[in-house]
Amino acid sequence: MHRYHRVVVKMSGGAFAGNNDWGFDRDAIDTLAGEIIALADAGIQVAVMVGGGNIFRGRIADQWGIDRVEADFIGMTATVLNSLMLRGALKAQDPGREVRVMSAVPMAAFAEPFIRLRAIKHLGKGYVVIFAAGTGQPLVTTDYPAVQRAIEIDAEAILAAKQGTEGVYTADPNAATGARLYASIAYDDAISRRLKIMDQSAFLLARDHDIPIHVFNSNRPRAMLDICEGKPVGTFIGPNTVTTLRDPVGAAGC
Ligand code: UDP
């Protein structure tokens, strides 16, 4: 018995790069594909909002002297690359698997357009749906679009995969000694504490529509299945919850 039946996985581009800062890591991508297949095989309907940070993020526009909106277009195409890479990896592992890439920006040769009811229909048939190009609008990352699509397709939760971090910490665990992992965070605390794990706009939209967000380590095997089975993995941000810390002993392994 699963607590969720339809989820949006927010997969940051970093998860495609493995331990590298940039680009693609074949083993990491194969592992991600395997985790998504395991989730779908458990009967959970899976849509994936794919990021592009392993290639380009719009917010570095200033450093590059590029117009911000142009930079966001570049970022969006990075998410398309990752989406096609993920579809390729899913099909390589399981050629019979039905996978649909739905792009917010027309890409007729590679991807379907995002049409809400069609996405829901695909999911109902057990197809894996990959959302490319966020919502097709500049000035946001893929965080807000992940929440928006979750609302649009009636998903019950967002599973936010982060590379190399177990969840949300009280401080940067690599910089601060004594940083503690949150078990749960109330939306308003995520907003008032300006937690950087997702954009504030994404928290606000999730709060207004009561969409729970689970932040977990993309390197952790079975993390998404465990979350859907109700096990305490990573950090839960959601409705009707108070902000709590994990036991420091358990923090390293959960
Ligand atoms: N982006 C955008 N509109 C969207 C989604 C993404 O402009 O609806 C651009 C934005 O520049 C963003 C980039 O695509 O920085 C890559 O996405 P993101 O930063 O979310 O990647 P992640 O950090 O998740 O790897």
Q: How many CB atoms lie within 10 A of CB 96?
A: 5
Q: Is the CB of 238 under 6 A from ligand 1?
A: no
Model confidence pLDDT, tens digit, residues 113-164: 999 999 999 999 999 999 999 999 999 999 999 999 999 999 999 999 998 8
For the sheet containing 235-238, what is the strand order?
Answer: 112-113, 99-103, 128-132, 45-50, 6-11, 157-162, 213-217, 235-238, 182-186, 244-245
Report the separation in Å between the CA atom of 31 and the middle of ligand 1, taken as the mean of its atom positions.
22
Give Cα 248 to chain centroid, integer Å. Answer: 26
Mean pLDDT, range 193-218, rounded to an integer: 95
**What is the Cα–Cα distance from 146 to 159, expressed in whole angstroms?**
10
Report the separation in Å between the CA atom of 53 and the middle of ligand 1, taken as the mean of its atom positions.
7
pLDDT of residue 190: 93
pLDDT of residue 175: 83
- Which atom from ligand 1 is nearest to the alpha carbon of 50? 24
Model confidence pLDDT, tens digit, residues 34-82: 999 999 999 999 999 999 999 999 999 999 999 999 999 999 999 999 9
Q: Report which protein residue has its CA nearest ligand 1's atom 15.
A: 57
Classify domain 6-245 at the CATH class level: alpha beta
**């932040």: which residue's tokens?**
215
Residue ranges in the chain assigned as alpha helix (H):
14-17, 26-41, 61-64, 68-93, 116-124, 143-152, 187-192, 200-208, 223-228, 248-251
Q: Is the CB of 18 under 6 A from ligand 1?
A: no
Bridge partner list, 215:
160, 235
pLDDT of residue 249: 52
Contact 2, 228 (CB under 8 A): yes
pLDDT of residue 138: 97
Q: Which residue has the higher pLDDT, 195 or 229?
A: 229
Q: How many CB atoms lie within 10 A of CB 93?
A: 13
